[in-house]
Chains A and B, each alone.
Chain A
Amino acid sequence: MPLGLTKKILNESVLTDSFDRRSFVLGVGGLSVGMLLAGRMGFIAIAENDKYATESESNRVNLTLIPPRRGWILDRNGAPLASNQADFRVDIIPERLQDSERELETLAKLLNLDDAKMRDLRKRIDESAGYAPIEVASGLDYDAFASVSIRLPELPGIVPQRGFSRYYPTGPSVGHLIGYVGAASREEFEEDRNPLLITPGYKIGKDGLEKQFEQTLRGKPGARRVEVTASGRIVRDLSTRPDVQGNAVQLTIDGPLQDYAARRLGLESGSVVVMDCASGDLLCMASMPSFDPNSFSDGIGSVEYAMLSENDRVPLRNKVLKGLYPPGSTVKPMHAMAFMHEGIDPNESIICGGGRRIGNRFFNCWSNHGRVDMAKGIYQSCDSYFYHFAQKVGFDKVAAYARQFGLGQEFDLPVASQFYGTVPDSAWKLKKYDQQWQPYDTVNASIGQGYYLASPLQLAVMATRIATGRHFEPALIKTDKQKPAPSLDFKSDEIAYIRQAMSDVVNGPGTAGRARLPIENVLMAGKTGTAQVVSLSVSNGKTGPWKYRDHGLFVFFAPFDNPRYAGAVVIEHGGGSGAAYPIARDVMTFMFDPQKGMDALLAYEKEWGGTAQQRLQRRYAEYARAAGETIPASPPLDREIQARVDAEARIEAQRSEEFARNNPRRVRRPDVDTSVNAQAQNSADDAQ
């Protein structure tokens, strides 16, 4: 053992030396690792400090745009037609979703979204550009909003926020006029690369005035710097720059009148235009049936679109601007003024023998009027009188007056498109069909049939210009400076003659006795019109399928001797003018005595089942229930919808022209009051 010990000590000392050396090496190695770490840290923290400080700051601070509150759209008296409502909303930013299926399921549960809504949502997400927010729901109550907010950490890419949404107090009444707003589509963002467009909660005007005045209404976005956690939860506000609300746009529209007229149209498909005879201001441009722009704010849902597009009363078409109808007898007063100006004495009369021979053919009148002068020609709406004098004066000359009175014209209005219709004359026919003008063309055109096509807006302008004898331009935007309205170069006794004759239509022995205003001392002047849409062999125009019934038209102004308001009512397939002038009567009653007008409307609405808005909501609910799953999940883009609606409107107008072309000699009674003149009408039918 001592021996071994010495041996061991020898080797032990070798190993001890080795340990000393090696542990020293490892110690130096450890020290150099320490130096390396210190150097590395110094490099990151000092040399690269700027870079990382910036990154840390961009982590911490989140800059969000606050969508500007949209400017209001006001009526002529300052009442809002479109305003903003504080609300709670939820958007999705698709590219920030992590587990989209799970998150959507959660949202559907929290917000009670039904299947149709979820289908639309999924489709929008699939088609979206990813960075653009998609609205899930707006107008939420606080509880629903809070339930989403609380679960935010597990819902990345979902943005609940308080904001403002567009509110249209009168809903469908202003749908066509004002349009609606919606989130910018990918195309819209690519055209105008404004980051505001992809800010959740920001809506741009999609149609109507909302679209035309987008830049005015837009305002300036505010900005909010917030401190956020990694999961996006907002910790605190750092600084906020408030938004600047967009400018208001004040219209010439009279809000209550617009709403009244829209509601008074009731179950009919048609339009009411009223203008101010002192300024040319458009007081009312109602087109019904319509849509509720409030429900379009989160995009047009597939069920809603299906319901609206299947409806044969085309609720998506603004009929004031894009409905074209043969004006029928409503042009007769204007034609009469043309005759006077061309030297025809109003007292010069002809004999209507149930019609009149023009050239070598006999053309029917709707009745046998005996001796007819200009006044009787108007208030009894005698066709023969107009056949005769149009032929005598020559229709090319008459057509020039028609254009002067606004027919076939486009007006300087802030609208996306307006149809200008047709005032036919020989040059037009030659150009369009490469055919000569024939006497029967004059005959047809003289009573507003044939190729003649006019929009309700044009008819209202015509009524204003007849009533005043001045060239008023329709205006939609209220301004302080009055546009000059040059005289149309008619003598005042000529104007007075026509006014009296048109008053007699309503208040005298005319065709629209039921249009008399229930107000003392206010007499309304007007002219009825009926536009045939199919030949008599298909339908008698009064009964039968809705599509085959005649359009009913009425132009008017009141009071007849000192006109303050003028306008036009057109009822599509109303079965004759009898559908149109009661509406004109009530609208004018409302202007002069709102209470009386309202009472009449409320009585009707009780019969119809509520206001337009209520009926629309009920229809939607029924439709959604009935259609359910069968609706294709394809709400198209807004601009596609608009293009489709426009195209259909053009086809509709085209159809009227084709009808005229295929039935050049099939003139029938232009208009009658069905109740008063039922018998005369029947005899006229028999005669044909």
Chain B
Amino acid sequence: MSSIIPTPIARQPWSMLIPLILLTCFGSAVLYSAAGGNLSPFADTHLLRFAIFMVVALVISTFSRDFAKFAAYPAYVVILIMLVAVEAAGAIGGGSQRWLEVGPIRIQPSELMKPAVALALARFYDTLPTGMFSSWRALLPAGVIITMPVLLVLMQPDLGTALAILFSGAVVMFLAGLPMSWFLAAGAAAAVAVPLAYNFALKPYQQRRVTTFMDPESDPLGSGYHITQSKIAIGSGGFAGKGFNEGSQSHLQYLPEPHTDFVFATMAEEWGFLGGLFVLVAFGLILHWGLSVARNAQNRFDRLLAAGMVATMFFYIAINLMMVMGMAPVVGIPLPFMSHGGSSMMTNMMCLGALMMVYRWNTQGRGGGLVQS
């Protein structure tokens, strides 16, 4: 880093921030087009939220390790209580809902739960004596930490978020160093149980919903319609796209949810394969930075916390992109930094904030020497 740039700025993780800012601005451009060539209502609020949550992320990044460790369980418990409150509110209000209203703000506790579970697990394995990593005491409390929110979220019902929590929890457990044989066994059990559940536990219409993505034409008016139209949008974009503001699939409303879940299709129609590569590379850089933060971390809590955050973000990105390209069922998961939506922006920026926090611990832990050199 050049000495012209002030140290507080030079200290920031620019290898992540530059792709992130470019990606978010690109996302705003796509949302501008999705709104029919208008800044409002999507693009402007998208940028505004990004700015707000960037401040939140920077605040999080200043937390000390001790504070993070101290806050891990209380945060988890508070959010768990909020999830119960959502259920209660839904039961009283006579209908399912996913959020709590606090004044003008709608909080979706299930979103907050994704980083919170990773944090709590990191904290749990941090305190677990190393000798117990291969005993049931390494498994059972972690299982409870994961299962309680997953069940509550499933009751909402929100399969996508439940899977996201499950995924980041599993990744943290895997990286914590639990015996490999457990994961192989769990994988084998799942390989047996999923087809059984599909065949015996699901009703025919539920089965159809699961398999629609393999044959979208079988349900051309239901979720198959979404996949078909999304593939048409991506496929018709070609190599370089139809041009900014020229996407007919999104502008003529053939593409469902062009500004949220299917924002990638909206982008791909106008920017083509090149735009898609840009998005993939940007995400790749961000995640790569996150993973390197985890790998460079100095102790187990840091490592697991950072890896859990990366896993949470990765799950969003991978599932959303697979969904819009017809490789996964339609499970309402937005694309981070591009989809219009406050909850996903909040979760992902909190994940990045946590990563920046660990990044700071890393650089501080190595003393001032690195900065000097």
CA A51 to CA B235, docked complex, whole Å: 8
Asked if A56 contacts B248 (CB within 8 A), the reply is: yes
| Count of B interface residues, CB-CB < 8 Å | 49
The stretch of B60-68, B89-97, B319-327, B339-347 in contact with A is B319-327
Asked if B232 contacts A15 (CB within 8 A), the reply is: no
Asked if A227 contacts B248 (CB within 8 A), the reply is: yes
> A115 at the A/B interface (Cβ < 8 Å)?
no
CA A595 to CA B246, docked complex, whole Å: 68
Asked if B235 contacts A53 (CB within 8 A), the reply is: yes
Residues of B290-314 whose CB lies within 8 A of A: 291, 294-295, 300, 303, 307, 311, 314
Chain A interface size range: 35 or more
CA A227 to CA B175, docked complex, whole Å: 53
Taking the closest CB of chain B, its distance from the CB of A5, in whole angstroms, is 11
Residues of B313-337 whose CB lies within 8 A of A: 314, 318, 321-322, 325-327
Kindly list chain B residues whose C-beta atoms are within 8 Å of the C-beta of A51: 235
> B284 at the A/B interface (Cβ < 8 Å)?
yes
> B74 at the A/B interface (Cβ < 8 Å)?
no
Asked if B291 contacts A46 (CB within 8 A), the reply is: no
The residue on B at minimum CB distance from A59 is: B254
Asked if A41 contacts B252 (CB within 8 A), the reply is: no
- Candidates B133, B171, B311, B318; contact of A33 at CB < 8 Å: B318
The residue on A at minimum CB distance from B221 is: A98
> Residues 222-235 of chain A: 1 if any B CB is under 8 Å from the residue's CB, otherwise 0?
00000111110001
> Residues 223-257 of chain B: 1 if any A CB is under 8 Å from the residue's CB, otherwise 0?
00000010111111111000000001100111000
The residue on A at minimum CB distance from B299 is: A12
Kindly list chain B residues whose C-beta atoms are within 8 Å of the C-beta of A33: 318
- Candidates A15, A22, A45; contact of B268 at CB < 8 Å: A45
Asked if B130 contacts A49 (CB within 8 A), the reply is: no
The stretch of A24-32, A459-467, A503-511 in contact with B is A24-32
> Residues 200-227 of chain B: 1 if any A CB is under 8 Å from the residue's CB, otherwise 0?
0000000000000000000000000000
The stretch of B149-157, B186-194, B269-277 in contact with A is B269-277
- Candidates B130, B237, B272, B326; contact of A15 at CB < 8 Å: B130
> B53 at the A/B interface (Cβ < 8 Å)?
no
CA A653 to CA B287, docked complex, whole Å: 95
> A618 at the A/B interface (Cβ < 8 Å)?
no
> Residues 34-76 of chain B: 1 if any A CB is under 8 Å from the residue's CB, otherwise 0?
0000000000000000000000000000000000000000000
CA A31 to CA B276, docked complex, whole Å: 15
Asked if A37 contacts B318 (CB within 8 A), the reply is: yes
The residue on B at minimum CB distance from A22 is: B175
> B280 at the A/B interface (Cβ < 8 Å)?
yes
CA A230 to CA B248, docked complex, whole Å: 10
Could you say which of A37, A55, A231 has the most chain B C-beta atoms within 10 Å of its C-beta? A37
Taking the closest CB of chain B, its distance from the CB of A26, in whole angstroms, is 7
Kindly list chain B residues whose C-beta atoms are within 8 Å of the C-beta of A228: 252
Asked if B177 contacts A14 (CB within 8 A), the reply is: yes
Asked if A52 contacts B235 (CB within 8 A), the reply is: yes
CA A31 to CA B321, docked complex, whole Å: 14
- Candidates B133, B236, B311, B325; contact of A55 at CB < 8 Å: B236
> B131 at the A/B interface (Cβ < 8 Å)?
yes
Asked if B252 contacts A235 (CB within 8 A), the reply is: yes
CA A173 to CA B340, docked complex, whole Å: 67
> A608 at the A/B interface (Cβ < 8 Å)?
no
Kindly list chain B residues whose C-beta atoms are within 8 Å of the C-beta of A53: 235-236, 238
Q: Can you identify 16 A-B contacts, CB atoms within 8 angstroms?
A: A19-B295, A22-B174, A26-B174, A26-B307, A30-B291, A31-B284, A33-B318, A40-B327, A44-B235, A55-B236, A56-B249, A59-B248, A60-B248, A60-B252, A229-B254, A231-B253
